[in-house]
Structure 1
Amino acid sequence: MTIELKTQTEREQRLEYPTPLALSLVVPVYNEAETVRIFVEQVERVFSDPKDVTVEYVFVNDGSTDGTLELLLLLQREMPRLKVIDLSRNFGKEAALSAGLSCATGQVVVPIDVDLQDPPEIILQMIDKWRDGYEVVLGRRSDRSSDSWAKRASANWFYRIHNRIADPAIPENVGDFRLMDRQVVDALNDLPESRRFMKGLFAWVGFRTTCIDYSRAERVAGTSKFNGWRLWNFALEGITSFSTDPLRIWTYIGITVSLVSFLFAATIVLKVLFTGIDVPGYASLMVTISFLGGLQLIGIGVLGEYLGRTYLESKRRPVYLVRRIYSQD
């Protein structure tokens, strides 16, 4: 598939796009009944003054069990511009985000979390950057003091490791919150893979990109659905999606272990020749066997990660299943 960038003439035509500008907000939700109404009210306040922007809400209900869907349908009666995509079960945020992008119809699309940690006010600045000719405008977190120390530290290490071994690099301290031109969204929707690490896909498609810094706020209500275990699996997904270096590393580990074993064997031979027969103790033997066995199991685990991804991709199952789309259109 070939995706051609816009020429300068096309950019100028886009900057003269007739008003009002159609903006789609893609909002994945999972058990967020406490925050949905607060989020919508805040967005409505932000866009009450600009008359040259119309907002389409694309909520993706990712298998919620707490009344989130009922609340969204109630809000839809008051706001015809609100669309609800109800997935058949909980597929995870990456799948829900993909579902929202496929149904968003706006000229510009912004994925945003419902917890208001990413301020909707920044979208107005993003639109100004888009009018300047950028296809992607990233929201970069300059202040993450609202996150725990463990979350900030693990995020920093993830970005460092991922960007050292994977291509393309992911911008640091940038989440899903960003503005994308219609052309970018169409390119993302055309990607065929079913195991989707969206931050990597956002970076992979490229396009002309800039950043806007903002301070990350506290959640307005509710609790985060990401725990340490899910974040760890998310990091593994990201690294194995865009890098084969973990496989290559085990080649070098094998060479290193073999070299150390050869040197150890040479040491024993020399010791026997000059000092007599030396019988190693059971402790050193058990340590050696355990060490090599552990290395082998880790190596098999790394191979299993990639083999498992290949197996799942080969099934060609859809990324998500939609139970129903609720729309006033």
Structure 2
Amino acid sequence: MNKPFSITEATVTNRTTRPEISIVVPAYNEAANIPVLVSEVLNVLGPGADIEILVVNDGSRDETAETLKTMAEKTPELRYITFSRNFGHQAALLAGLRNARGACAIAMDADLQHPPEFLPMLIDAWRDGAALVLTRRDDRENVSLFKKISSSAFYKFVNVLGDFDIEPGSADFFLLDRKVLRALNQFGESRIFLRGILPTLGYEKQILDYSPADRRHGASKYTLRKMISLGLDGILSTSINPLRLGTIAAMALGGLASIYALYAIYVAVVLKTALPGWTSVMLVVTIIGAIQLFVLGVIGEYLGRALTEVRGRPAYIVAETNIEALAAEIDGEETVQ
């Protein structure tokens, strides 16, 4: 049974103390939503709550950076990281989780479709013993038809080809205990698919259903192209099943080719007739060529990702922050851990 929700009060003016809860918010062109989000989070969790709100500005082109700087001067709970350019939602999320100082960290989007009033439920589940609290979106309300169709196709695509099953409606709205954060920080990939990685870590988890709220300002930045790219990252970063598909297709075609060869020999030797084959030969050549190109494309995707990892380039570059340790790194000073 859940305990009544409460959160530890603490003085948050000292940024060197470790808060109880970190709220990690990736943001891209969300200048209008961020003040509303910060206000609602602080209202929901209560005044004086022992929290930090860490907003990662993913190279926004609007006034997000200026908004964060202005708000941080008046809001001691607010910390921010601004990227030098747009590195993507997952990179921004990973940067926030790596720099979260809380005993637990909650990830949520800046558009307020992850409702702040749901935060106490995540925290209660954590206090009841769950090291990993995931959420599942209820798509019956407040979700467009396009979103429902594309989301369903996305999860079917990932679950069929991947090595893991992701709950349909899963979102980057979750809570991680500090030990889960430490485990996550051991992953060295520059392109990581958190929705696929987190359920495989083995920690005690709980899944909560939530109803998405309406976006307050602006439009969704998650286009169909980005969703497809996320799906490919999810499969290629955690599974080699696409390569196995090429092997299976090759074996199947090899078997069919053997049967066709035996048939051709039978017609030529036993029936003493020529086997007309222009159409059939062209069909076989076309099918084999298409499969070869498909397999080469899959291999190219894996090689491209392997090259990215081998190069060792950073997953993101921080241009500006009010986090002292990161600011020291940007200025070329040695960071004291």
Q: What percent identity do the matched residue pairs reach?
A: 37
Q: How many aligned positions are there?
A: 310
Query: TM-score by structure 2 length?
Result: 0.85
1:237 maps to which of 233, 242, 245: 233
Partners of 2:87 and 2:104 in 1: how far apart? 25
Instruction: Confirm whether residue 37 of structure 1 aligns to residue 38 of structure 2.
Output: no
Instruction: Confirm whether residue 277 of structure 1 aligns to residue 274 of structure 2.
Output: yes
Q: Is the 8 A contact 1:136 1:180 kept in 2?
A: yes
Q: Is the 8 A contact 1:83 1:328 kept in 2?
A: no
Partners of 1:19 and 1:131 in 2: how far apart? 16
Q: Is the 8 A contact 2:8 2:20 kept in 1?
A: no
Structure 2: unaligned runs, 5 residues or longer: 1-6, 11-18, 326-337
The alpha-carbon deviation at position 165 of structure 1 amounts to 4.6
Q: Is the 8 A contact 2:111 2:216 kept in 1?
A: yes
Partners of 2:63 and 2:137 in 1: how far apart? 31
The alpha-carbon deviation at position 164 of structure 1 amounts to 4.5
Partners of 2:95 and 2:211 in 1: how far apart? 28
- Indicate how the Cα distance of structure 1 residues 133 and 86 shifts in structure 2: closer, same or farther if over 3 A, else same: same
Partners of 2:38 and 2:9 in 1: how far apart? 22
> In the alignment, which residue of structure 2 is the partner of 1:59?
55
SS in 2 for 1:159: helix
> In the alignment, which residue of structure 2 is the partner of 1:298?
294
> In the alignment, which residue of structure 1 is the partner of 2:329?
none
Structure 1: unaligned runs, 5 residues or longer: 1-16
Partners of 1:101 and 1:160 in 2: how far apart? 28
Correspondence 1:17-166 to 2 at 5 A: 22-48=20-46, 53-166=49-162
* More displaced 10-residue stretch of structure 1: 38-47 or 242-251: 38-47
> In the alignment, which residue of structure 1 is the partner of 2:250?
254
Partners of 1:278 and 1:162 in 2: how far apart? 44
Query: TM-score by structure 1 length?
Result: 0.87
* More displaced 10-residue stretch of structure 1: 196-205 or 121-130: 196-205
The alpha-carbon deviation at position 211 of structure 1 amounts to 1.5
- Indicate how the Cα distance of structure 1 residues 35 and 306 shifts in structure 2: closer, same or farther if over 3 A, else same: same
SS in 2 for 1:72: helix
SS in 2 for 1:58: strand
